[in-house]
């Protein structure tokens, strides 16, 4: 096959990180233009993909490469700086080459001695792409091994630390260590406490602004997304994100660094909560009905203190009562009214609060109890989480990666079997980690949102029945109400032995 007569060409340039100056877009263009000039070719177009990984994005999935193929401009060659600028996998390179050949052109590289306009050059390019894929895989393995080694010896692998943490020189050798930022970690602990107590991300953002907490980047205001990112970060449980790179949707990977059994590597010195409690918090944040997901609605300041708690008992099944304004225009009064039978109950707040404090004021506030598991149960839970992740990944995995996944799943199954023979230990922990009663938490509450949450932890609902005409005293009004209390204000009532063990833990 004789060489194709080349008169015109286009340049294709790509870079994964815009800050990588060694292979910057400008340097690739400069090299490509110099190459074209040396061969007497005219450059008729330049196509770019910036901030795009060739490992995680096929050429046909990149905007710049698609624009090149869709261009109406005629050209005889596509000039790339090196083969790996175009593709890291052999199959991707071959597919890209076929697409270029369909336009009557060939691929040439500045730094690699390939010229796809000849049969010999095409064969050599395929071999070069094979070796490039092997080197890319080896590079990933080296990077993963290096990162895991740094974490196993307690070293910081790099990157911008999470708010509340900072990197410091390693006193025992080279590199850096990650430690708590004592000036900010207290704010992070309070973010976690508020989230575990059921407060919304939006209200936590407002609290940070009210107390004047410094922002991570020195801006004047806190952003909802910033607060959410902090309380969702696995470092709160001592786990370090693996960050395998951008996916096709340009979202950073959310896996964490794991040991040889596939279980998370946990640094207890960095954790401010157990892994199981962190996962429980993430599950609550992910609930579709949770106010965390709808911050706009939380801006409303007129929600009643008893909203959602007052129910009309004059029906076969209780019906929720809604706030209403009764009385006259000059003397309105707040009431809750049934929309079906129109029964109403005026100004119930003080009456219900007084009964709540009488019945539950001295009870320990344990509503947000999370199961804190140790030993085998932690391994069992983490192994199950990882198996689910691997099961989703294997569907679209390459043959090589599929083999790795099967091996890891086999090890995790063995870990699960061992963990099943280790009994879990369960502890009951108070809301926010502090031992306080409902009355103490009520007194400390500063907003209606906090008060509504405390009531909701102790009280399921208040059933309202009709009274007799003229019943106006508090005792007669209270007789119309039936309180459905949650068991001791807890999700599940612990036994005497469990409470005794818990008491010994918090007092010790």
Q: What is the per-residue pLDDT across 299-348, written as a single tens digit (0 to 9) for each?
A: 344 457 888 889 999 999 999 999 888 766 777 778 899 999 999 998 89
| Paired residues of 50 in beta bridges | 15
Residue 272 backbone dihedrals phi, psi, to 5 degrees: -115, 5
Confidence band, pLDDT 50/70/90 cuts, at residue 74: very high
Confidence band, pLDDT 50/70/90 cuts, at residue 245: very low
Residue written as tokens 């091994």?
Answer: 145
How much is the mean pLDDT over the chain?
A: 76
**By the 8 A CB rule, do 176 and 169 touch?**
yes
**Range 41-67 average pLDDT:** 89
Residue written as tokens 């807890």?
Answer: 490
Q: How does DSSP classify residue 248?
A: T
Residue written as tokens 């007084």?
Answer: 354
What is the four-CA torsion angle of 346, 347, 351, 353, rounded to 10 degrees?
A: 130
| Paired residues of 319 in beta bridges | 312
Write out the DSSP string of 355-402.
HHHHHHTTSB--TT------THHHHHHHHHHHHHHHHHHGGG--HHHH
Q: From start to end of 16-164, where are the E strands?
A: 42-50, 77-80, 106-109
Q: How does DSSP classify residue 78?
A: E
**Range 220-227 average pLDDT:** 86
The residues, ordered by sequence, that sit 6+ positions from 176 with a Cβ below 8 Å of its Cβ are: 155, 156, 158, 167, 168, 169, 170
**Range 117-138 average pLDDT:** 58
| Three-state secondary structure string covering 136-192 | HHHHHHHHHHHHHHHHHCCCCCCCCCCCCEEEEECCCCCCEEEEECCCCHHHHHHHH
Confidence band, pLDDT 50/70/90 cuts, at residue 41: very high
Residue 131 has pLDDT above 60, yes or no: no
Identical fold, 8-143 and 176-300: no
What pLDDT, on a 0 to 100 scale, did the predictor assign at position 421? Answer: 62
Return the structure tokens found at 37. Answer: 């000039």
258 vs 60, residue with greater confidence: 60
What pLDDT, on a 0 to 100 scale, did the predictor assign at position 420? Answer: 62
Provide, rounded to the nearest whole percent, the portion of the chain with pLDDT above 70: 69
Domain boundaries, the chain: 8-143, 176-300, 302-368+429-494+502-507, 373-423
Q: What is the per-residue pLDDT across 141-167, written as a single tens digit (0 to 9) for each?
A: 555 555 555 555 555 555 678 899 988
79: left (phi over 0), alpha (psi -120 to 50) or beta: beta
Instruction: For residues 365 and 362, give the distance between their C-alpha atoms in angstroms, rounded to a whole number.
Output: 9
359 vs 54, residue with greater confidence: 359
**Range 164-174 average pLDDT:** 78
C-alpha 176: how far from chain center: 26
C-alpha 250: how far from chain center: 15
**By the 8 A CB rule, do 163 and 216 touch?**
yes
329 vs 426, residue with greater confidence: 329
Instruction: For residues 60 and 52, give the distance between their C-alpha atoms in angstroms, rounded to a whole number.
Output: 12
Write out the DSSP string of 458-493.
HEEEEEE----TT--SHHHHHHTEEEEE-GGGSSSP
| Paired residues of 80 in beta bridges | 109
Confidence band, pLDDT 50/70/90 cuts, at residue 352: very high
CB atoms within 10 A of CB 479: 13
Helix axes 90-102, 63-70, angle to 10 degrees: 30
Residue burial 357-380, b: 16+ Cβ < 10 Å; e: rest: beebbebbbbbbbbbbbeebbbbb
Instruction: For residues 241 and 228, give the distance between their C-alpha atoms in angstroms, rounded to a whole number.
Output: 16
Q: Can you give the length of the chain in residues?
A: 508
CATH of domain 176-300: 3.90.1750.20
- Among 84, 81, 194, 187, smallest CA distance to 444 is for 194
> What is the model's pTM?
0.46
Q: What is the per-residue pLDDT across 433-492, written as a single tens digit (0 to 9) for each?
A: 566 788 888 888 877 777 887 888 788 899 999 988 766 788 888 999 999 887 654 444
Between the CA of residue 352 and those of 42, 193, 198, 357, 457, what are the distances in Å?
84, 27, 21, 9, 14
Greatest mean pLDDT among 18-22, 54-58, 143-147, 476-480 lies in: 476-480
Instruction: For residues 44 and 473, give the distance between their C-alpha atoms in angstroms, rounded to a whole number.
Output: 90
**Range 3-29 average pLDDT:** 78
Confidence band, pLDDT 50/70/90 cuts, at residue 426: very low
Q: How does DSSP classify residue 23?
A: G
Residue 417 has pLDDT above 90, yes or no: no
Instruction: For residues 275 and 128, give the distance between their C-alpha atoms in angstroms, rounded to a whole number.
Output: 45
Instruction: For residues 13 and 365, give the distance between their C-alpha atoms in angstroms, rounded to a whole number.
Output: 61
Q: Does domain 8-143 correspond to CATH entry 3.90.1150.10?
A: no
Q: How does DSSP classify residue 76?
A: S
| Paired residues of 115 in beta bridges | 108
Provide, rounded to the nearest whole percent, the portion of the chain with pLDDT above 90: 20
Exposed, middle or buried, 492 (CB in 10 Å: 0-12/13-18/19+)? Answer: exposed
The residues, ordered by sequence, that sit 6+ positions from 7 with a Cβ below 8 Å of its Cβ are: 41, 42, 76
Q: How does DSSP classify residue 162?
A: P
Q: What is the per-residue pLDDT across 379-402, written as a single tens digit (0 to 9) for each?
A: 666 676 777 778 777 777 787 888
Look at residue 167 and give its three-state secondary structure: strand
Q: How does DSSP classify residue 279?
A: H
116 vs 422, residue with greater confidence: 116
Residue 188 has pLDDT above 90, yes or no: yes
Instruction: For residues 258 and 110, give the distance between their C-alpha atoms in angstroms, rounded to a whole number.
Output: 40
CB atoms within 10 A of CB 40: 8
- Among 150, 144, 178, smallest CA distance to 164 is for 178
249 vs 107, residue with greater confidence: 107
Which run of H or E residues covers position 202? helix 201-210
């Amino acid at each position: 096959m004789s060489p194709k007569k080349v008169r015109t060409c286009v340049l294709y340039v790509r870079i994964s990180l815009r800050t990588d100056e060694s292979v910057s877009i400008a340097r690739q263009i400069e090299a490509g233009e110099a190459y074209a000039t040396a061969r007497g070719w005219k450059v008729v177009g330049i196509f770019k993909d910036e901030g795009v990984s060739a490992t995680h994005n096929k050429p046909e999935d990149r905007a710049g490469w698609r624009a090149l193929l869709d261009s109406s401009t005629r050209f005889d060659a596509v000039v790339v700086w090196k083969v790996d600028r175009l593709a890291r996998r052999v199959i991707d390179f071959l597919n890209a080459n076929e697409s270029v050949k369909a336009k009557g052109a060939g691929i040439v590289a500045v730094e690699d001695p390939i010229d796809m306009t000849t049969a010999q050059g095409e064969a050599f390019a395929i071999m070069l792409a094979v070796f490039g894929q092997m080197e890319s895989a080896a590079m990933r393995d080296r990077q993963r091994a290096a990162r895991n080694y740094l974490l196993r010896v307690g070293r910081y692998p790099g990157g911008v630390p999470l708010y509340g943490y900072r990197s410091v020189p390693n006193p025992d050798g080279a590199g850096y260590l990650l430690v708590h930022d004592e000036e900010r970690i207290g704010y992070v602990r309070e973010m976690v406490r508020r989230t575990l107590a059921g407060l919304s991300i939006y209200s936590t953002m407002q609290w940070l602004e009210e107390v004047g907490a410094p922002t991570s980047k020195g801006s004047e205001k806190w952003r909802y997304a910033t607060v959410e990112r902090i309380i969702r970060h696995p470092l709160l449980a001592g786990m370090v994100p693996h960050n395998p790179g951008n996916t096709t949707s340009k979202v950073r990977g959310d896996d964490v660094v794991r040991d040889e059994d596939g279980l998370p590597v946990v640094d207890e010195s960095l954790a401010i909560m157990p892994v199981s409690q962190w996962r429980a918090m993430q599950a609550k944040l992910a609930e579709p009905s949770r106010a965390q997901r709808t911050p706009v609605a939380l801006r409303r300041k007129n929600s009643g203190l008893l909203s959602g708690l007052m129910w009309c008992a004059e029906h076969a099944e209780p019906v929720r009562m809604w706030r209403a304004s009764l009385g006259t225009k000059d003397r309105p009064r707040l009431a809750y009214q049934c929309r079906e039978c129109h029964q109403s109950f005026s100004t119930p707040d003080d009456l219900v609060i007084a009964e709540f404090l009488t019945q539950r004021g001295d009870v320990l506030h344990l509503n947000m109890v999370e199961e804190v598991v140790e030993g085998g149960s932690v391994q069992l839970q983490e192994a199950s989480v990882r198996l689910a992740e691997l099961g989703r990944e294997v569907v679209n995995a390459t043959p090589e990666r599929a083999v790795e996944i099967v091996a890891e799943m086999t090890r995790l199954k063995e870990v699960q079997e061992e963990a099943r023979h280790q009994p879990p230990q369960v502890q009951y922990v108070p809301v926010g980690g502090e031992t306080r009663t409902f009355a103490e938490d009520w007194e400390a509450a500063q907003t209606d949102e906090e008060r509504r949450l405390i009531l909701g932890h102790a009280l399921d609902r208040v059933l309202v029945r009709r009274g007799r005409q003229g019943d106006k005293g508090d005792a007669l009004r209270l007789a119309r109400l039936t309180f459905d209390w949650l068991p001791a204000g807890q999700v599940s009532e612990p036994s005497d032995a469990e409470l005794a063990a818990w008491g010994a833990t918090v007092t010790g």
